Amino acid sequence: MFTLKLIGGRHTMEDGTVIIKGAIIKTSVPLHTIFVRKFERIYQEESVHVMPEAPNIPTPHQPRQPEKIELPRSLEKADYGKDVTKNFPMAAEADMQVFKDSEGYVVVDPDTGEAVSLFGLKKKEVNPFLDGYLEDVVEDD
């Protein structure tokens, strides 16, 4: 429904009624677009119902945003120090990594990121550990 004001001259409606300048009418016919300089649309304030914000539900055009998950410190990749694997050829053979920090050396499984040796090994203890580790792996197979 349109609320219109006649802004110029006279107008004869479909039912034969004649309206004059300044008249306000309600009609379903968009006379303001048919007679551009004759009618002016009057916009009345309408009550607007504000819907509460909808949850973020993905649509085909809106991909779901992954939530950032913070791991507890114990599950994060540990900082074992400097990677010194290249100094221990047996580590490559065992498919392990060797790290050195201020306390000493540690052997780490690169697939899991977990230490497989005690922390603080001395340099001379790394190869014997790797040798024993390789023997245990061969025996388990």
Nearest-angstrom CA–CA distance, 25 and 42: 10
Can you give the pTM of this predicted structure?
A: 0.44
Helix (H, G, I), strand (E, B) or coil at 126: helix
Q: With bands split at pLDDT 50, 70 and 90, how would you rate the model's confidence at 87?
A: very high
Per DSSP, 139 falls in state H
The 10s digit of each residue's pLDDT in 21-46 is 888 888 888 888 888 788 888 876 44
Do residues 112 and 94 make contact, with C-beta atoms less than 8 angstroms apart?
Answer: no
Q: With bands split at pLDDT 50, 70 and 90, how would you rate the model's confidence at 48?
A: very low
Nearest-angstrom CA–CA distance, 2 and 104: 85
Q: Where are the domains of the chain?
A: 2-41, 80-140
Per DSSP, 44 falls in state P
Nearest-angstrom CA–CA distance, 76 and 80: 12
Neighbouring CB atoms inside 10 A of 5's CB total: 15
Nearest-angstrom CA–CA distance, 57 and 50: 19
The 10s digit of each residue's pLDDT in 65-81 is 555 545 443 434 467 88
Q: What is the pLDDT of residue 78?
A: 61
Angle 35-41-47 from CA coordinates, rounded to 5°? 155
Neighbouring CB atoms inside 10 A of 6's CB total: 19
